Amino acid sequence: MTSTIGDIAAALADATVVDLAQPMFRGMPQSPNHPPFQMALQRRHGDYVRADGGSAANEIIVTGGHVGTHVDALAHVSHDGRLYGDVDAAAVQSHEGFAQLGIDAFPPYVGRAVILDIAALHGTDVLPAGYGVTAEDLQGAADAAGVAVAAGDAVLIGTGWSRRWDDRAAFVGAEDGVPGLDTGAAQWCVDNGVRIAGGETIAFEQIKAGAGHALLPVHRMFLVDHGINIVETMRLHPLLDLGVAECLLVLAPLNVRGATGGPVRPLALVANGGSS
């Protein structure tokens, strides 16, 4: 039987909504490879007052597409000059962005997300800096939670790193690195048909101490080889604290034509008030 809007609303009525976006502000942690976020009030209350006493304020916002919680478009990374689907990067890029594979080509995702809490698997709230999450970690977390990843799912990787958001230097990990997937774990995601992969760091994948972003093999595997979009800088720790293994994920980045990424405010809907 086809569900009505009322049926859907009733099913979601008791859901807990968890905001998975980090707040955006000047000086927030971000990759040094991207333009910094800036916001300033362009007009303040009182600068212009209408005849009836009303006044309005507004701001100007300047940001890179890969700052704060964001989705990587498939156009973000190339290898040997080729994008996903063997598209010639030079042929589709211009000063106006990308004619193909930009963030505007990403269809909003509303579907199942599996939460794999790797930090909890290792008995900690936050994985060590530079830790490489393995395929065995992903399978172990899935087994511990009693869930299986199905083709087309989103997978959210819990490293606990979003708990370090307020310590900018530690979060960026320029000296000590950040935890994330190694290439074996990336292949596990590919083999399981993952559609979208999300993480808590600015790089998503493992960055070893002192290595910086010199090489990003998981980005190549996901974005170029297999067409798997990446969500970075997610605020996952409130979701991890609920101890849930799956949720309904709503993911709709800003629809900026030709952009290589877009800020997003992901929402997780967890059934039964957060019980797993």
**Residues 178-197: pLDDT tens digits?**
999 999 999 999 999 999 99
pLDDT of residue 190: 98
pLDDT of residue 132: 97
**Residues 87-130: pLDDT tens digits?**
999 999 999 999 999 999 999 999 999 999 999 999 999 999 99
pLDDT range class, residue 210, cuts 50, 70, 90? confident
pLDDT of residue 276: 42
pLDDT of residue 1: 52
In a domain, 219, yes or no: yes
In a domain, 27, yes or no: no
pLDDT of residue 234: 98
Q: Which residues form the domain of 109?
A: 5-22+65-274
For position 195, which CATH number holds?
3.50.30.50
Greatest CA span in the chain, whole angstroms? 67
From residue 81, give the alpha-carbon distance in Å to each of 11, 70, 100, 186: 47, 24, 14, 22
The arithmetic mean of pLDDT across residues 241-248, rounded, is 96
Q: What is the mean pLDDT of the chain?
A: 94
Percent of the chain with pLDDT over 90: 88
Count of domains in the chain?
A: 1
β-pairing, 267-270 vs 246-251, is antiparallel
**Residues 40-87: pLDDT tens digits?**
999 999 999 999 999 999 999 999 999 999 999 999 999 999 999 999
Which residues lie closer than 8 Å to 161 by C-beta, 6 or more apart?
126, 127, 171, 178, 179, 199, 200, 201
pTM: 0.93
**Residues 107-118: pLDDT tens digits?**
999 999 999 999
In a domain, 58, yes or no: no
How far does CA 51 lie from the centroid of its chain? 46
In a domain, 43, yes or no: no
In a domain, 222, yes or no: yes
In a domain, 122, yes or no: yes
Which residues lie closer than 8 Å to 112 by C-beta, 6 or more apart?
150, 152, 153, 154, 246, 247, 248, 249
Is the per-residue pLDDT at 275 higher than 50? no
In a domain, 103, yes or no: yes
More confident residue, 273 or 4: 4
- For residue 240, the surrounding DSSP H or E stretch is helix 237-242
pLDDT of residue 236: 98
pLDDT of residue 13: 77
**Residues 168-180: pLDDT tens digits?**
999 999 889 999 9
Dihedral sign from CA coordinates of 190, 192, 195, 199: negative
How far does CA 144 lie from the centroid of its chain? 24
